[in-house]
Chain A
């Protein structure tokens, strides 16, 4: 299949790291800049810019944090990478640490992935023995170590400032930015937070060169992207594709023919209707952390909206009003729609509320939690309006009983 590539597959352990340590820190950052790579965690901030901002701050203490909180609904590529691309990941973290001048790297692993911790720790121990971690790595004079820290079950802790709060032993409530973590991060020290996939890609870039990386993808979205594909398709799983691939081609890949919509980017992403399947994945149009959920022809899109809003009501940290109050209102609205009890006027008000949440929420959670609601109520009006009340009953009743 022309659309599947495997550039993140073969990696000689230590190869990228060796190259990095033989160069100056500035040259490492230059190589990453030339590759054009942007963050794979969702926000798409250029990795070299982030590293450079961290590198230029004078500070005794700096940190590089690998964001392994992977909580976006429909995302599982980091799980695979943590289990099967461990060498490249640890190389990537070490390279980043060297580039910014950190002595410690921290992997923030979500509590749901606790079963992976022993494997990661064992690999770290191995690397200490073989000189890839610890004092004077590979005889370079560079000292660096990596530790694993656990999350405790909170989606919002994937947001980088909430993640830092959590590492500091606080509630995972996002902070105002600025100051950015690159200046004032973990315990006040400059901190670079990078996604698992980003760090692995950087190890490959160092090993094989930026031109090699740029051969894949588009001008503004270089390289490849791992997609986590699930939902109504014959072949769900993790796929590596070049940026710029169309949704139609993604559907072909995974056997999702007949889909009426695709959820791109998870619960916080966009609901793209079939009429727009020519749209392309990439920072030019549909940016995504890689979650692709195929929504088959039989699905009720109000069930989809309800499931996501349940999620956001539960996971909102409650710190700011638009998100704390807005999500329950939208959820209630979906339930009214399901029961055929929502006037067009009220729907319009809810859509206005959704846009206010996008504009006025403090962090990415509240800024994106209305996306699916807005997309579904815009693109699927004939399906959601004027329902006879029986239809809504019994399907997708709200689940109670999640832990405190």
Chain B
């Protein structure tokens, strides 16, 4: 990370902390904001959050590592979360999983090289009457079948133009 970017992240975190009056109970919304923007909470970010809230960095790490929507490693621009729980399993999630891997060329737990997509399993999304269900970031898709998978991915690919451009943009945050 460039020095200037460190500075701007430091500044951003200080502003967030201000908003939550440097209170411990502001930690979750702070981390969520950072995760959303940078797609991870980096070591540096954790240190800064700790400093601003007056706690040890390990405590922040403890929190980040606890929740499945927070991560210390950068995620793709779009995180795909396929529900692996029973009703979606009954409804055909295994075929959808296979197709997702085929289309993306990665396995579950991985991120595509262009850093556009991360593929993960999650637990019940509360869409069990319309499974298989998956999330792409905050968008929910229901009754997904293998045929639909490529359409969904295409939609997000188009949203962000050529991968190379994105890669450049991303490289700065790594």
Q: Give A contacts to B, CB under 8 Å.
A: 70-76, 78-79, 110-115, 149-155, 166-172, 187, 228-232, 236-238, 263, 267, 293, 296, 299, 303-304, 307-308, 310-311, 314-315, 317, 396, 399-404
Contacts and interface: CB of A to CB of B under 8 A. Distances in A.
Interface in B91-138: 97, 107-110, 119-131, 135, 138
Contacts, number: 152
A114 B107 CA distance: 26
B67 A154 contact: yes
Given A231-B86, A304-B86, A307-B89, A70 B123 contact: no
Contacts of B157: none
A307 B86 contact: yes
Interface string B47-77: 0000001000000001111111111110000
7 contacts: A166-B28, A169-B25, A169-B27, A230-B131, A402-B68, A403-B71, A404-B71
Contact of B87 (A71, A293, A404): A293
Contact of A168 (B25, B73, B130): B25
A399 B108 contact: yes
B86 A232 contact: no
Nearest to B110: A401
A402 B31 contact: no
Contact of B124 (A71, A168, A169): A71
Contact of A403 (B31, B120, B128, B129): B120
A78 B130 CA distance: 15
A266 to B, nearest CB: 8
Given A311-B85, A400-B109, A402-B121, A171 B90 contact: no
Nearest to A236: B129
B90 A154 contact: no
A231 B135 contact: no
Given A171-B62, A399-B121, A310 B90 contact: no
A345 to B, nearest CB: 29
Contacts of B65: 404
A74 B120 contact: no
B128 A152 contact: no
Contacts of B90: 231-232, 296, 299
A274 B128 CA distance: 22
B32 interface: yes
B24 interface: yes
